[in-house]
Every structure is written in structure tokens, then in C-alpha cells.
Amino acid sequence: MNWPDNGASAAARQQLAAALAAGRVSEWSDAFATVPRHVFVPRFYRQDAEGAWQTMAWGEPGYLETVYSDAALTTQLDDHGVPTSSSSQPSLMLSMLEALDIDEGHRVFELGTGTGYNLALLSHRLGDTNVTSVDVDPGLIETAARHLQTVGFTPTVAVGDGAKGYPSRAPYDRIIATVGLHMIPQLLLAQASVGAVIVLPLGYGIVRATVTSPGHATGRFLVTPAHFMARRTIGAKPQFEAAGQQSPTDSSVPPADLLGRLKFPASVALPGYGSCSWRDGDGQLEAVGLWTPDGSTAIAHVSGTVRQYGPQRPWDTVEDLAKVFNSEPDRADFLLTVTPTGQTVSYGDRGGPSWSLPATP
């Protein structure tokens, strides 16, 4: 073994595996108890009370407890302090891995290599010759490959847009994405065998779809809430100034509902939306901002007024959703249907509301 380990790190790893399984028998317990997360996350960033990022590294007090806790850990920031990579929350990783329903010999593609920890868990379970992963960031791929090798795995890893898959290793029996998408990318679907299971974050949920025939897939959302960092693309910025100059209209939907009961449905109806909130000195909500990737922007004030700007009127969609969802809906009641001509998410029984997903990821 050529990676640092000691009684404390080994014990912390076992404890995390046991806590994740929570008394159940999980087919992934051995992987979590064996693969050392600390090798893949030798250092991470945490925000202090003022919002400044501080690093914590192997050997420092609290590091081992945190790296083997059920926490998502930010591992890379851009020049503006915006996280660009992270090691996902272990319990969420476990839910997604279990949803993949993996069997011996399956060939798996992962979109979003990041630290390589999830890939190491897959390699432990399936053997590294059966797993392939792509990340858009060359530096991350280089580091992940090195850490994977350190723990004895050499799966196929490559730099690229994971939405395009990795055709030379296709077909895949299982596909998992660890970065947020707006639909199942067609190029990725084309690399899945019939019967393949695809697990990926869509909006504030995770969908599990089965490929029923070439170009067709269907499946429900997991009950688990989730928010993954978005696939890196360039979206328009919110137009708060322009929105603020529009004439106000009345809204009966409390702005807080967008951050609560309507958060998941809005992510299906307004794929890729962003939101923010404004609060007074006592922390009381004053208004929320809502914008879509085309720059359409709404500012909804707690007084019951809303100002909207741009080609879409995103708050009108929120009003429509509020009529359907009196309380936070169960994600498992949402069904994704994929055909070669389009992708839709529908709610409830036949005849319930449905939303078309964008044509690109």
C-alpha cells in the first residue's frame, strides 16, 4: 500500500460505511469501507462564518472526521471563488449507486470524474476495466488518474464534454452522471445498450431511466432531493436592473414558495433556472430573484408584486405550478419519457401536467 493510512483513518472509513448502510445490508458497504476517500480528497475548502473559503488538509485537526463524514466537500474553486468540483455527499452517492442496480460484468460510464472517488468505488465493485469516466477539466483528470493509480485502479479516464460520452468504449450497461443536466443527452443515450439503466441529476432531483429501445427511455425520479453543480456551459446572467424597471404585476404566490415547495417542480418546468434571495437586516426575506438560461428574469417581492423581463415570464410558470402543487410533491410521482423526438416529464396519473425538456443537455 503506497497511500497514507493509520488506525484513525481506517476506523473512520469503517464508521462511515456502517453509518451509510444504517443497519441495512448494502452491496456498496465493502466499497465504502475499503476505498480511502482521503486519498481522493487530500484537501478541501470550507466557508467560514464570513463566507471566506478556508482549506483543510490531511494531518490537520478535524480533517479525518470531516472527510469521513456524510458531507459534500468542495475540492476546487475558480478565480472568483465559485466551486468547480466537489466530492459529492456520500449518502447521495450511495443512493445513486444503489439505483444503478449494478451486476457483475456491467460496463459503466460516469459523467463527471471530479476527484475520482466515485470511480474508485465503481472500480472496486466491477473491476477497473469495466469503468470509464470523462471530466471537462484536464487538471482534475490528471489528479484523479494519479489518485486512482495510488489505490491500485487504472480505469479509462478522459478529458471532454461528458454529455458526448466516450463512444469507443460503448455500449454501456449503466450510465451515471454526477453533474447536473437538463435532459438525457442524445449522444449518451446512443451509447447505452437496450435495458441499460441511466441515473442522473435533472434539476433538483435524480432520475433513474431504463433504455427500452434505441433512442427511447423511461423512468421515475428518486425520492432523494439533490442539487449537483451544473454541467459547465455558458448561460445568460440575470437581468435584475432591467427587471427592476418593469411595471409591477400582482402575484398571489409567496416568494418563499420558490425556495420551498416549488423548488423541484420549478427545476423541471424551468430547466437550468437560477434563484437568489434578498433579506433585510434581521434576515427576513424581502424578495426572490428567478432567472432562466436565456436571461429572462423575475423579481418577486413579499408585498405581492412581481416584475419580469425577457422573452419568458418565468414567474408566470411559478404561478401555474403553485396551482398544481399545494405542498411539496413527492419526486417519485414524476415520470421522464424519452423518445428520439423529445423528452418530457409528467406528473401524476395520465392526463396530469407535463413539461418538455430542452433539446440539448
Ligand X SMILES: C[S@@+](CC[C@H](N)C(=O)[O-])C[C@H]1O[C@@H](n2cnc3c(N)ncnc32)[C@H](O)[C@@H]1O
- Minimum gap (Å) between residue 83 Cβ and ligand X: 9
Give the helix/strand (H/E) hosting 149. helix 138-150
| Catalytically annotated residues | 88
How far is CA 165 from each of CA 65, 111, 113, 132, 175, rounded to the nearest angstrom? Answer: 35, 7, 12, 9, 9
Q: 224 to 283, contacts with ligand X by CB under 6 A?
A: 228-229, 231-232
Polymer length in residues for the chain: 361
Q: Is 161 in the site for ligand X (CB under 6 A)?
A: yes
- Minimum gap (Å) between residue 163 Cβ and ligand X: 6
Residue nearer to ligand X on the CB measure, 141 or 287: 141
Can you name the residues that pair with 77 across neighbouring β-strands?
A: 83
Q: Is 137 in the site for ligand X (CB under 6 A)?
A: yes
Residue nearer to ligand X on the CB measure, 12 or 253: 12
Residue nearer to ligand X on the CB measure, 128 or 135: 135
| 318-321 contacts at long range (C-beta below 8 A, 24 or more positions apart) | 318/253, 318/257, 318/258, 318/262, 318/266, 318/290, 319/251, 319/252, 319/253, 320/269, 321/262, 321/265, 321/266, 321/269
Report the distance separating Cα 291 and Cα 309, nearest Å. 9
Among 86, 251, 275, 292, binds ligand X (CB under 6 A): 86
Q: Is 20 in the site for ligand X (CB under 6 A)?
A: no
Residue nearer to ligand X on the CB measure, 125 or 231: 231
Choices 50-58, 107-115, 187-195, 296-304; region in contact with ligand X by CB under 6 A: 107-115
Say which amino acid occupies 289: G
Among 178, 251, 275, 292, binds ligand X (CB under 6 A): 178
- Minimum gap (Å) between residue 17 Cβ and ligand X: 16
Q: Is 132 in the site for ligand X (CB under 6 A)?
A: no
- Using the CB atoms, write b or e for 88-110: b if 16+ within 10 Å: bebbbbbbbbbbbebeeebbbbb
Q: Is 92 in the site for ligand X (CB under 6 A)?
A: no
| Grid cell at residue 89 | 455527499
Q: Is 95 in the site for ligand X (CB under 6 A)?
A: no
* C-alpha of 268 from chain center: 14
* C-alpha of 230 from chain center: 7
Among 32, 109, 117, 347, binds ligand X (CB under 6 A): 117
Q: How many helices (H) and strands (E) does the chain have?
A: 12, 19
Residue nearer to ligand X on the CB measure, 228 or 334: 228
What residues make contact with ligand X under the rule CB under 6 A? 84-88, 111-112, 114-115, 117-118, 134-137, 140, 161-163, 178-179, 228-229, 231-232
